[in-house]
Amino acid sequence: MVSRDDPDYGVLNGFHSVSNTTAAQSPLKACAQAFLAVDLLRNDERPAVFWYRHDLESFLYVLAWMAYRPQDERTVHPLSGWWRQGYAASRDLKLQFLKGHFPPDDISSPIVPLHWITGIRGLFRNGYGTLEESGLDRGGSIGFDEETLRGHVTYERFLQIIST
């Protein structure tokens, strides 16, 4: 949502997908899928736990969406699979993005410092890599620090990246 009075001012919301739900239904139905953290897109029976790092990950996806946005509106957005497909496909595409498989980092963005994207993406790439190695994503490795992905995604590391 953008203000008519100030085009540089915007608000991110998920009002377009709000629905009347009961407590038994998933809270994810009211979230903006394109910016939802990978953990929250999984398709298993474990209840979703919302960590602070999920907000940081969503921030990364907003930055990437802004940076890689095509100048020509007729061009398909390179990250459009994040919101045009289901949760499983969106999760897979985001994991590919975090691993650096796409889009290229050699673009220039007048809006977003690209070192923010590569730096924050590195935190999550390393954290999710450690999670995958631990086996927790398949039900193993009790004692894994999920809140910070074993210390890879912390507020201090995040702040260090965006302070430069």
In a domain? residue 136: yes
In a domain? residue 148: yes
Where residue 53 falls among pLDDT bands split at 50, 70, 90?
A: very high
In a domain? residue 110: yes
Decide which of 101 and 55 is more confident.
55
How many structural domains compose the chain? 1
In a domain? residue 23: no
Per-residue pLDDT averaged across 9-20, rounded? Answer: 53
In a domain? residue 9: no
Measured from the Cβ of residue 164, the count of other Cβ atoms closer than 10 Å reads 8
Decide which of 23 and 101 is more confident.
101
pLDDT for the residue 24: 45
Cα 154 off chain centre by: 15
Q: Tens digit of pLDDT for each residue in 114-146?
A: 899 999 999 999 999 998 888 765 555 567 888
Decide which of 160 and 44 is more confident.
160
In a domain? residue 62: yes
In a domain? residue 69: yes
By CB atoms closer than 10 A (0-12, 13-18, 19+), residue 48 is middle
Measured from the Cβ of residue 140, the count of other Cβ atoms closer than 10 Å reads 9
pTM of the model: 0.77
In a domain? residue 10: no
pLDDT for the residue 133: 85
Q: Which domain holds residue 86?
A: 34-162
